[in-house]
Amino acid sequence: MPSAYKHFLHQAFLSLDEFASQLADVLSCPVTIENLNHELVAYSQHGEGADAARISTIISRKVPDHLIQRFWKEGIMEALHASSEPVAIQNMQDVGLGPRVALSIRNQKGSVIGYIWVSETRRSLTLDEKQWLKRVATKASTLLQKEGRAGQNSSDMERLWRLLTGTFSESDIPPELHREGIRGCVLILDAIEETKSVHFQRLLTEKRFLSIVDGARMIILVLGQDVIEEVTILVKAVSVSCVYACGNPTDMGAGLSRSYEQALRLLLLKERFTKQLETAIFYYESGPLRYIPAYEEESRASDCHPALSILLAYDHVHHTSLLPTLAIYVQEGGHMMRTAEKLHIHPNSLQYRLKRISELTDVQLKSSLERSGLLLDLHQQSWLHLWKTHK
């Protein structure tokens, strides 16, 4: 590498401001240095090509919260905490952020104490330069600690994001979760504008649960001796038009990221199976439906129960509704009266249809295993529209 790069690593700096300025000169790129709390501790001059995100950070002396949340959602902060390798960040025009390279600054114990951000609005860094920046981050660590600007405690927002993404340290885990019998889970409320009832806000304040607003969603870490009851109380306090989803309870800090993933999956399932999951709060309440996305990815149409093709062809020729009858029957768990009500037919008519289905397909309708398999098959995208349009 050119001598300027080697000289920088051996140069003595009086301050982080001088350090950032000289680093920007060597790279011909604007440089920003932040502490653990994303507070601005040093930055170089803009020059040409400064983006809106950098300007707003310098003006407020701190990275705006919406940017921090975006970095966590995109996996950027997770990558920075997971390793000392440089992280390439693509253009995010919707938040005024140009391309960047970021690195974590770590202390002697390997804990993250800050970050270096190099803007690539003027030019892109080479692979050698990115690797060289790891040595730069080590040098920055000494200055950051010497000036006492590393920051001690990150915000509750970042603490919660670390728990949600599984990049937390022991100090991030709520102390309540260490108590016997206390469990936690992650609740997501969609359409946040609908949750602003006085009763809901009072509950949230009284319980002192960690929460963040992420766009139109509110994410809440719910803790309690009876965490299922705690979640149910919160859900009852929000508007009926608000969509809610909660991951399964856990008694370990490591399980909270899993609970968050489950809550996100339940939201997606609710979009797809709105009626079936209308009252479901927890992920475990989604039953076999939660396996359908993974089942669709791995199965092929030929893997489905042969009864489906037989009934589809029979209905087409004879203008009957045996396929949707079977679908509603397995969806209702084999319950005759509920199935008849859903189909708006007499139980005797349903009995006749089920007998005809058995004759045509040899399907064992009394077998819960076979019904479960049919339920999964019938709710695959490739079959769902077929029986719904043949009702």
CA proximity to 141, closest of 10, 16, 22, 5: 16
Parse the chain into domains and list their residue ranges.
Answer: 3-146, 158-283, 299-388
Instruction: Say what the pLDDT of residue 98 is.
Output: 92
Q: What is the pLDDT along the chain (391 residues), one digit of tens a residue?
A: 788 899 999 999 988 999 999 999 999 999 999 998 899 999 998 666 678 888 888 888 889 888 998 999 899 999 999 899 999 999 999 999 999 999 999 988 888 899 999 999 889 999 999 999 999 999 999 998 887 766 555 678 888 888 998 888 788 888 888 888 889 999 999 876 655 567 777 787 788 888 888 777 889 999 999 999 999 999 988 877 789 999 999 988 888 999 999 999 999 999 988 888 999 999 999 988 888 888 777 655 457 788 998 999 999 999 999 999 999 999 898 999 999 999 999 999 999 999 999 999 989 988 888 888 888 888 876 666 665 665 5
3-state secondary structure of 371: helix
pLDDT tens across 74-105, in order? 999 999 998 999 999 999 999 999 999 999 99
Q: Report the topology of domain 299-388.
A: Arc Repressor Mutant, subunit A (1.10.10)
Name the DSSP letter for residue 39. B
For helices 256-272 and 156-165, the axis angle rounded to 10 degrees is 80
DSSP string for 198-248: HHHHHHHHHHT-EEEEETTEEEEEEEETTHHHHHHHHHHHS-TTSEEEEPP
3-state secondary structure of 107: coil
Cβ within 8 Å of residue 139, ≥6 positions away = 9, 19
Instruction: Say what the pLDDT of residue 352 is.
Output: 95
CA distances from 179 to 49, 175, 331, 373 (A): 52, 7, 41, 41
Instruction: Say what the pLDDT of residue 277 is.
Output: 92
Rounded Cα distance between 244 and 266, Å, is: 9
CA distances from 26 to 39, 48, 287 (A): 24, 16, 58
| Correct CATH for 3-146 of 2.40.390.10, 3.30.450.40, 3.30.465.10, 1.10.600.10 | 3.30.450.40
Alpha helices (runs of H) in the chain, residue ranges in sequence order: 3-10, 16-27, 52-60, 65-73, 76-82, 127-146, 156-165, 198-207, 227-237, 256-272, 292-298, 306-318, 322-331, 336-343, 347-361, 368-378, 381-388
Instruction: Say what the pLDDT of residue 134 is.
Output: 96
Instruction: Say what the pLDDT of residue 152 is.
Output: 55
Instruction: Say what the pLDDT of residue 389 is.
Output: 60
3-state secondary structure of 334: coil
